[in-house]
Chains A and B, each alone.
Chain A
Amino acid sequence: MSQSIQTQPPNNVSLLISQSRTNTLGNKTGTWRFVRPKYQEKTAPCSNACPLGIDVAMVEMFASRKDYQNALNTVLMENPFPAICGRVCFHPCESACNRQFLDQSVGIHHIERFIGHWGLNRTNISCKYPEFNGASIAIIGAGPAGLSVAYFARRLGYRCDIFEKSDNPGGLLKYGIPSYRLPDRILMDELHRLDDEGIQFKYAQSISMDQINALKQQYDALFLCCGDANSITLKISGEQFSIDGLDLLRQIRSNQMPLIEGTVAVIGGGNTAIDVARSVLRMGAHPVILYRRTRKEMPAHPHEIDAALSEGVLLKECLSPIDIQKNTNLFEVSFQRMKPGEKTNEGRQTYIPDGNRRETITFNHVVSAIGAEMDIMWRNELWDLSLSHCRMKKIEDQPVFWCGDLTTSEKTVTHALASGKQAVIAWDVMQNQKENEIHTICHQCQVGKGPALSFDIYTKGDRKNRNNTEIVKFEHVNTAYFPNIPAVQINKISQESCQNSFDEVISGFNESQMIEEATRCFNCGICNDCDTCRIFCPEMAIQWDNTTRHILMDYCKGCGICIEECPRDAMKLEVEP
């Protein structure tokens, strides 16, 4: 194995060193091995937290390389509207991001928005839908859930007809979310993704339960996506003097600006209450949010509450309205003061009346925004199928799916989109004569611990090769490869502009900011070709053939260095078979 070489230097100094020109290929160090490394991609915590199960780690990888086409394709695989979700989603992905344990979470939603925006400007790459498969479905409601059903069903070859009671698509996206969060042109541009002869919108079609029977003669399945159309009322005396919050938002979005001035009471603590308050602020009024519990208990997203307060919205806590009196052009609202009561079994703080403490405040307007509920005609108790984000009942052997806000526990745009995806997968499984396997197949398509489903896995894409149940923990990220880098700060318009206009508040990342932020992503659980495994292999047993890496088992001695070094937990060690 070894040979010594005598080099005779010109000056006659003795120089004898150990040197060999024999290579080490004969030394099959693989025989020492009792465990073996394997490339095994896993699930990132952001994907697990995303209701749509977007392959975030992969999106950020492509985005950081300026490969926007692949980044967009990866998002569109699971989410039809990245430019919308990048704006309105409350980004549970970022709350789960492993990077928060190092410095700060990656600004995933801003990156998604950038990628979505890149896609808007490129109509040539909108979805290529397949041939029709012969079946067709009817969708009731063109809100997020209905649009999602159409998008995913059309991708599986179904013809879709969408029945919408208004004259425009979008539902809540169009009429419920103020334009400073979602500009109309973004919504309209995103909806071009559904431009296809296989997706027909039928406007001004208000469908009642009675008409369902007629419709089901013409379609193979029905999807009810009509949302929570009815506002919950205050049920107090004088409630007729209050303006309905959702109605007000709808009027504003339809450019029928009602005259709102002076101080405005906004009753409620959810996202609608915040939207109303921030909207009337922009119309020159002075909104006061009145909530019967405290800020901590408000169901609205904390970011939204912060934004509202920073813009000048006032918040009064522990006030529950009991009466509204009209006094010429003003309204006197009486409130019962509330105080903390006992905690429920789930640990939730209850609030109870604080004796007889009352308070009366005079406002120019009173807006009620305490929530919405479904129309009573869609109520149903007995289901033939009940999944996390949708329900199905067979009416005369024909499947009718309840989707979106009718079924989801969290009433957000992203959950509504997820609902549509789940319902389409369940329906497709039924079409393939595997109705009794719906639960099993959904489980196979689950991202992380679920309930998010991956359309990529369902359609047998590359993601099915991943370990979809194992979620990468921060402890398994090799932080030696990640120096502390604070998150890129997002651009916002000025406080003054917020108070004067419905211009979009968050301006989004420019390209260099987006790349900087996407580069911060650990890419948990996926191989981004960093090559660390190959560089560190002491036996040079990892080979790169310009497309993939493979491990030469003749030489891999099972030391596990590649796994220890992998910055992102994309490998694992297995016992020798």
Chain B
Amino acid sequence: MKEVLEGSHAVSEAVRLARAKVISAYPITPQTHIVEALSEYCADGSLDARFICVESEHSAMASCIGAASAGVRTFTASSSHGLALMHELLHWASGARLPIVMAEVNRALGPGWNIWMDQSDSLSQRDTGWIQLYCETAQEVLDTTLQAYRLAETVNLPVMVVLDAFFLSHTYEPVDIPDQQSVDKFLPSFEPRISLDQQNPNAIGQMAPPAYYMEMRHSIQMAMQSVMEHFIDVERQFEHVFGRSYGPITPFACDDAQYIFLMAGTSASTCRQAINSLRDKGHKVGVIKLKMFRPFPYQDVRKILKHAKKVIVLDRNCSFGAGGIFAQELRSAMYASDRHPQIFSFISGLGGRDVTVDHFFEMFDRIEKADYPDDESVWIGLNP
């Protein structure tokens, strides 16, 4: 059934359909609508879950960790400073191998106080052992949230579903809401591999001295390395039930492209418009939308970029002192490839500033003329 939904509520609907049992969250703009709707679902009985109000995001994640350790499906959502406050427990969730799903609404960090779109918050958490999936449309948000539970529960790693503040979270779009029966078919009830059992008491998250610790970390990495295989399988089953799939990356007009843009999130839509115009002018350009960031889809990216001359990476974030984070990741992904294109790093659209079609033209103009990329990321759209 198609309904016009706010991106935030696409998440809420998915969590309801996934029959999460424990939801714990602390409100923060622009995440609030997600958990607000969920609290209403809990109150009106349309979702049989316990909504735990907490005093901080740190406690929200702690509640989810507790509930997931007891073997139930859990959900939380956060953003920006809230996600930063959760940091310690993000490590704990993955270290404890708990399949927690979180919606993360990309928002800038202060100061200057800013509630708008920016990728710095989620990318600051890239090393916490969470799978990160970036979305472009409200439909993709709903679908990815459902997939996230399947994936998390298969590999025993937590998943962060990332959506752009306001561009996605507060924008209304037609969304096909699947029926509960189909969702139950795709996502059966949770059968936890780790759960506290009163009949057979045990302590989890115990001290792990040098003789044990390293293997546990290796196990996380092994699980991460298996994610791609399981993600493809999850998507195949999702497509079988719902007729939609996305892939870890979404290439557009890349088959014969010499110049390929790469980015995550909603700006990919704007970029496709720019591609169409540039193609009309005879430029062989394409774009890759990066959905999966952790684990990084090396193979998929390498395959598409194999014949490209130049890659233009748009980062709506900055690792100060090193530049755009997606660009860095792409450079390291391509380094081992026998053929690698020149990689141009651009930073734009921080703190909710629009990235327009003209900005993409400007990036294209610059790289077309340049023989080599600059060492430093180039900032586009700065005020004069």
Task: Write the residues of chain A forming the contact surface with B, with a CB cutoff of 8 angstroms.
Answer: 1-4, 7, 9, 11-24
With A13-B226, A18-B207 as contacts: A4 and B155 at CB distance below 8 Å:
no
Per the bound structure, the CA–CA distance linking A316 and B52 in Å amounts to 61
Contact A2 B156 (CB under 8 A): no
Q: Which of A2, A7, A14, A21 contacts B207 (CB 8 A)?
A: A2
A7 touches B194 (CB 8 A): yes
Q: Tell me if B230 and A13 are in contact (CB < 8 A).
A: yes
- Whether the Cβ atoms of A2 and B194 lie closer than 8 Å is no
Cβ of B201: which chain A residues have Cβ within 8 Å of it? 21, 23
- In the complex, the answer to whether A17 meets B194 with C-beta atoms within 8 Å is yes
**Cβ–Cβ < 8 Å partners of A21 in chain B:** 200-203
Interface size on B, residues (CB 8 A): 28
Q: In the complex the two chains form, is B204's CB within 8 Å of A15's CB?
A: no
Q: Is the CB of A19 within 8 A of B206?
A: yes
Inter-subunit contact B230/A18 (CB<8 Å): no
Distance in Å: Cβ of B153 to nearest Cβ of chain A: 10
Q: Which residue from chain A places its CB closest to the CB of B204 in the assembled complex?
A: A19
User: Mostly helix, strand, loop or mixed at chain A's interface?
Assistant: loop
Q: Which chain B residues border A19 with CB–CB below 8 Å?
A: 202-204, 206
Using a CB–CB cutoff of 8 Å, the interface residues on chain B facing chain A are 95-97, 154-156, 193-194, 200-209, 212, 215-216, 218-220, 222-223, 226, 230
CB-based contact A14/B219 at 8 Å: yes
In the complex the two chains form, is A11's CB within 8 Å of B154's CB? yes
Residues of A within 8 A of B230 (CB): 11, 13
Query: For residue A22, which residue of chain B has the nearest CB?
Result: B203
Shortest C-beta distance, B222 to chain A (Å), equals: 4
Q: How far is the CA of A16 from the CA of B208 in the complex (A)?
A: 11
How far is B156's CA from A19's CA once the two chains are assembled, in angstroms?
15
Q: Which among A9, A17, A22, A24 is the interface contact of B216 at CB below 8 angstroms?
A: A17
With A7-B194, A11-B154, A17-B96 given, name 9 new contacts (CB 8 A).
A1-B207, A12-B226, A13-B155, A13-B156, A15-B156, A15-B193, A16-B216, A18-B204, A20-B204
Total A-B residue contacts, Cβ distance less than 8 Å: 73
Contact among A1, A9, A14, A20 with B202 in the assembled complex (CB-CB below 8 Å)? A20
Measured between beta carbons, the chain A residues less than 8 angstroms from B207 are 1-2, 18
User: Nearest chain-A residue to B209 (Cβ)?
Assistant: A2
Among A2, A7, A17, A24, residue most surrounded by chain B Cβ atoms (within 10 Å):
A17
A168–B130 alpha-carbon span in the complex (Å) = 86
Residues on the A chain within 8 Å of B208, using CB: 2, 4, 18
Pull 24 A–B residue pairs with CB atoms less than 8 Å apart, ordered by A.
A1-B207, A2-B207, A3-B206, A4-B208, A4-B216, A7-B193, A7-B194, A11-B154, A11-B230, A13-B154, A13-B226, A14-B218, A14-B219, A14-B222, A15-B156, A15-B219, A15-B223, A16-B218, A17-B216, A18-B216, A19-B203, A20-B203, A20-B206, A24-B203
**Which residues of A lie under 8 Å from residue B95 when comparing CB positions?**
17
Chain B residues whose CB sits within 8 angstroms of the CB of A17 once the complex forms: 95-97, 194, 204-205, 216, 219
The residue in chain B whose Cβ has the minimal distance to the Cβ of A19 is B204
What distance in Å separates the Cβ of A183 from its nearest Cβ neighbour in chain B? 49
Q: Is the CB of B212 within 8 A of A2?
A: yes
Tell me if B215 and A4 are in contact (CB < 8 A).
yes
Distance in angstroms from A356 CB to nearest chain B CB is: 71
Bound Cα distance A11, B95 (Å): 19
Are A14 and B204 in contact, with the CB atoms below 8 A?
A: no
Measured CB to CB, the nearest residue on chain A to B202 is A21
B85 nearest CB across to chain A (Å): 22
CB distance from B235 to the nearest CB of A (A): 16
Partner of B193, one of A1, A9, A18, A20: A9
B207 → chain A closest CB, angstroms = 5
- Complex Cα gap A35–B352 (Å): 55
Docked-complex contact B202 and A16, CB < 8 angstroms: no
Distance (whole angstroms) from the CB of A456 to the closest CB of chain B = 43
**Lowest 6 A-B CB distances belong to which pairs?**
A14-B222, A16-B219, A14-B219, A18-B208, A18-B206, A20-B206
